[in-house]
């Protein structure tokens, strides 16, 4: 509980700092949101991957993971291309 409180206070200090710096927020706001979303997705993936590996005996899970990453990469590129 103590670690959660400490991390929350650090995050709150960062928010207060960024709210006072409008130029910094407008310049790097999109990057910070993208970074936060990527970190949350990576954390979720790395948390669920060991459980998925335990559920399958073979290497199917690795192919499914690779296929999913490639699918979303190509989809993102196509969306930004058009």
pLDDT in tens, 30-42: 888 888 888 888 8
pTM above 0.85, yes or no: no
Say whether pLDDT at 71 is over 90: yes
Say whether pLDDT at 22 is over 90: no
* Region 40-48 average pLDDT: 87
Cα 61 to Cα 32, 41, 49, 66, 70, distances in angstroms: 31, 18, 9, 9, 14
* Region 37-62 average pLDDT: 85
> Which range, of 18-22, 37-41, 71-75, averages the lowest pLDDT?
18-22
């Amino acid at each position: 509980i103590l670690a959660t409180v400490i991390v929350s206070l650090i995050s709150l200090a960062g928010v207060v700092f960024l709210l006072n710096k409008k130029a910094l927020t407008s310049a790097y706001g999109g990057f910070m949101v993208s970074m936060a979303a990527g970190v949350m997705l990576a954390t979720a993936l790395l948390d669920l991957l060991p459980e998925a590996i335990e559920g399958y005996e073979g290497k199917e899970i690795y192919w499914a993971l690779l296929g999913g990453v490639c699918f979303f990469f190509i989809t993102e590129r196509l969306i930004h291309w058009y």
